[in-house]
Chains A and B, each alone.
Chain A
């Protein structure tokens, strides 16, 4: 998968926080106003640092995003609804894979074997829900919390 992405030669943006900090709460309205579509920029291994303890602010904001944009298809236990349940997803997948699945789903479904397997199981293409990387990162923090990380 990484080989494939290096072929696509996409520019990696540098503006993502590499380590979680406990700053201001996320202003979703400000973030999404005039926001360009987020997909198209590939996240590579090492771009994302996982630290503990979890950033609780992000966990809570990630949950809010989940409620609006993800919950219709993903349960928080291991039951498949439209897509797979999220229980254990942070153990099954690398952080960059999860972030790419959220922000670059079309590229993933085209190039990534694991993503293609999921499409065969679920039949419905995972929608691009237009999260930017910051928002996706917060969803990931919520997923980690859902998987019992502290």
Chain B
């Protein structure tokens, strides 16, 4: 149909952009006021006010910044192997990246969800989604480590995830791609989308004590693309809102074919109702396959379990659970304000920002003010749900966050700006430029029932000339704005790692006091731990050689090992005997097809090495530990297969074999 219509829309859009930007600032210098430096300066030895958890996008990791300084404090590996500390390389952490497809060592981490109690941050966990091979991870904020990863079955492109409910009852996972579901024959023509492709949204229960995740239920939906989501809160607690596009159900050239209709949908889910249906036994058990990976902090070991069943609710058998609300032009962000009354839909291609009222939605449902249905699911009349529209907000609205004074802030991708508007009357109050093409934005505590306000951060998609050039690939730029006054003021521009999508920030005091400093060696339950040098040993089990090794400033025990032969696989189980904060040791062996491992105080980590030739192989501590760190080293002797060099080991004892060369045993 409407290729021409779309083209004319684009032409109009470009014309409008041109009109708006005739006075675009040349550089940020003009936008920065005189006292900006003092507002972001954190004196040496002083701490930032907020922790900011920032998704790393295509690096599969999460980075942690201090705000307002914009200093990078840590990168937490989540969905990607991390050679810097051995995550996904050590035997203990490899199972974290297991999936029903085997080990998937990379993913695309888009969204952050900090755990909440009563709609406010509680500083316990941070959740993140893996977009490509659908997964959700939980990071423990005591250790800043990935504690759990659960794969999502019946999903493809886990983008609409992991948005969280006000008491962390659930994190959700809406599929971006609709696909034939896992228990169906998927070998079908792609152009049978309308018949064979379905969507799902999953509700993953979070155990309130342990944080452990389990898929409570999935809801099967018509085939569309789910994009983002937000939980209702306060008045709308018990509901979840998902934005979706491609109500055209296109399977090719979505750029055009999924942009045809004037309106797509926000899907409202009454999850309390879904819980009732689940309890009443309405869910069908479906055969699926997904991995559930849990890291045990006492054993310092992850286990991966393949689960085989999921409970699925079909809206056709569960009335009053799902509703569609029309939303202009491919909605992206779908954000609930702190009161829970208003739901803001940001249509990427729309000229206005609709603000829906939860009260009106409830009334529309009661009055059956419907505009037909979409695949059997009632479509609420747009006007019946609408509170009002933000008129002429800018171009390309994507995401909205809120402050503690009744204001909303919407990112405008196409017009590269942030627009501040008042929720109650949708009046635009202020706008500032971003550099350039802002995607997500984040107000301190912005998605919660009680935002902290104060700062807003724009995470931009395009960097261009913001920093010293570094070849074709540039760091992504972020800008920090002071939003404490009437006018937003840019006070800092800082580079980020990977490609940040969403980020959430919370007061540092909610986390810093709980930070783990060491692991108690007494509690180390790793089956390969050496608690004291007296328990170190080397054991042969067939062609496996297990080295039970300790590290302490500044030596390994054992540090001389002989009797390894070609064809052996060597496992170094290294226990760090230190019990002081910030004294990790590292370990690596020459020629090993592996990363290094870092071993935290009191922890055991295992490094696998398959020697590829005979000879002497050095090993050493890779993390500077003391004045004698350069002395923290050792040797492994590898002899030809079948040689008769005995297995001997030790530190500071030259009792090792005097067998000069590993002559084949048969020649003795």
Contact = CB atoms under 8 A, between A and B. Distances in A.
Given A68-B521, A71-B532, A72-B557, A124 B579 contact: no
Given A71-B533, A72-B550, A72-B555, A127 B580 contact: yes
Contacts of A130: 518, 520, 579-580
Given A68-B531, A128-B580, A129-B578, A73 B552 contact: yes
A32 B553 contact: no
A35 B627 CA distance: 29
Interface string A62-78: 00000111011100000
A123 B627 contact: yes
A72 B533 contact: yes
Given A68-B577, A72-B533, A129-B579, A124 B553 contact: yes
A63 to B, nearest CB: 11
A95 to B, nearest CB: 22
A87 interface: no
A129 B521 CA distance: 10
A82 B523 contact: no
A71 B522 contact: no
Give the dominant DSSP class at B's interface.
loop
A125 interface: yes
B583 interface: yes
A123 B630 CA distance: 13
Contacts of A35: 520
A72 B523 contact: no
Interface in B491-526: 517-518, 520-523
Contacts of A124: 553-554, 626-628
Contacts of B557: 72
Given A71-B532, A73-B552, A127 B520 contact: no
B534 A71 contact: yes
Contacts of B628: 123-124
B533 A28 contact: no
Q: Give the bracket for the number of chain A residues in contact with chain B.
A: 20 to 34
Interface string A12-48: 0000000000000000110011010100000000000
Contacts of B531: 68
A28 B579 contact: no
Given A72-B533, A124-B628, A125-B626, A33 B579 contact: no
Nearest to A119: B627
A82 B628 CA distance: 10
B554 A82 contact: yes
A128 B533 CA distance: 17
Contact of B578 (A37, A123, A127): A127
Nearest to A68: B532
Q: Specify which of B517, B522, B550, B552 lies most central, judged by the most chain A CB atoms within 10 Å of its CB.
A: B522
A123 B520 CA distance: 26
Interface of B: 517-518, 520-523, 531-534, 550, 552-555, 557, 577-581, 583, 626-628, 652
Interface of A: 28-29, 32-33, 35, 37, 67-69, 71-73, 81-82, 123-125, 127-131
27 contacts: A29-B522, A32-B520, A33-B520, A37-B581, A67-B532, A67-B533, A67-B534, A68-B521, A68-B577, A69-B532, A69-B577, A72-B532, A72-B533, A72-B550, A72-B555, A72-B557, A73-B552, A123-B627, A124-B553, A124-B626, A125-B626, A125-B627, A127-B583, A129-B578, A129-B579, A130-B520, A130-B579
Given A29-B522, A37-B581, A127-B552, 19 more contacts: A28-B522, A32-B523, A68-B521, A68-B577, A69-B532, A71-B532, A82-B553, A82-B554, A123-B626, A124-B554, A125-B553, A127-B553, A127-B580, A128-B579, A128-B580, A129-B578, A129-B579, A130-B520, A130-B579
